[in-house]
Structure 1
Amino acid sequence: MRTPGTTLDVTAADICVSGYAKRVRNVPSAVKRQAYASYGVRSHEPGEYEIDHLISLSLGGSNSIRNLWPESFRTQPWNAYVKDELENELHRRVCAGRIELAKAQYVISHNWIIGYRIYVHTKPTSAQARRKTRSRSRRSYSPPRSQFDPPVP
């Protein structure tokens, strides 16, 4: 796995402070170039990719190269805009006490597409996949505990 995901030593209380992700975001251009190179992306057009945090900063992800990957804005239907929806939903749930931070990190790092289907409950349409993330209504559904339970140490 090229990008296994790494986290910072933070708690839900830390990440739920307004502006947290903005304060910890720091990915130098050289590290971004390294992330592109590790995936064989030698050149790209503006707006084609972003260097994404597999475990988002809003869920305690780190700026380490082990947590960064080039994520497409153009692939359909699973792309950067759609993953952002899951990141936002998991962050809302962590901050509302509806999911443990470690479980949210596990979900997004192990298979974010399945996580999207479980926590966002829809299959993105082409229009959804193209637009910027919009605020979603909160839902009361919680998946069965057997799905995406992180391994117990």
Structure 2
Amino acid sequence: MIRISGFIALASLFFSTTIIADDIPDLAKTPGVSRPGFTKTKVCSIKWGKDERHVTPGMKRQVFANYGYSGYTDPQCTADAHDKTCEIDHLISRELAGADDVNNLWPQAYGGTPWNAHLKDRLENRLNKEVCAGRLSLKTAQQMLVNDWRKAFIKYFGEP
């Protein structure tokens, strides 16, 4: 009986939040890559959004293909209220020294699941602020994204 109760408790913990497989990347396809030589000082001195991106259309096609998506109109790219479907997202965000590399990119939907690109973007901004304020190391923030960004989101913002 104890085993069954333990199993039920574990199962209820596991299923307490609805999770869809593409809420997080497949780490075999997207292990996460950071930019060499980037330190906290460099990360905190860049005006993110104003810097250059180096993700080419060919890289985006490759990422979609790696995940079996046909592109931005794939049914797995669920649209949000503004008809944005998917983004090719950085697992380790650019604000935390994530590389523009196919091994750091995955397709993430804007709509559908509560665990969408909008929430991850919000977390990325928060983690950048935590790093720049000295409350979190750059390496720890990167690992929070790689090890399941949803857990970090819950830590800082609660359940979506």
Sort the TM-score into its range (normalised by shorter chain): 0.7 to 0.9
Any conservation in 2 of the 1:93–1:99 contact (CA below 8 Å)? yes
Any conservation in 2 of the 1:21–1:57 contact (CA below 8 Å)? no
Q: Deviations over 1:124-151 (max 9, x none)?
A: 1xxxxxxxxxxxxxxxxxxxxxxxxxxx
Rg (Cα) greater in structure: 2
* Runs of 4+ in structure 1 over 6 Å off: none
Q: Displacement, 1:40? A: 0.4
Answer yes or no: is 1:110 the counterpart of 2:147.
Answer: yes
What amino acid is the match of 2:99? S
Q: Distance in 1 between matches of 2:49 and 2:33?
A: 15
RMSD: 1.4
Q: Displacement, 1:20? A: 4.6
* TM-score using structure 1 length: 0.76
Q: Distance in 2 between matches of 1:20 and 1:109?
A: 20
Matches within 5 A, 1:18-97: 18-20=46-48, 22-45=50-73, 47-97=84-134
Q: Distance in 2 between matches of 1:48 and 1:33?
A: 15
Picking from 120, 123, 127, the partner of 2:159 is: 123
Q: Displacement, 1:24? A: 4.2
Q: Displacement, 1:43? A: 3.5
Any conservation in 2 of the 1:15–1:21 contact (CA below 8 Å)? no
Percent of aligned pairs with the same amino acid? 38
Q: Displacement, 1:21? A: 5.5
Q: How many residues align?
A: 123
For structure 1, list consecutive stretches of 5 or more residues without a partner in the other structure: 125-153
Q: Displacement, 1:93? A: 0.3
Q: Distance in 2 between matches of 1:95 and 1:82?
A: 20
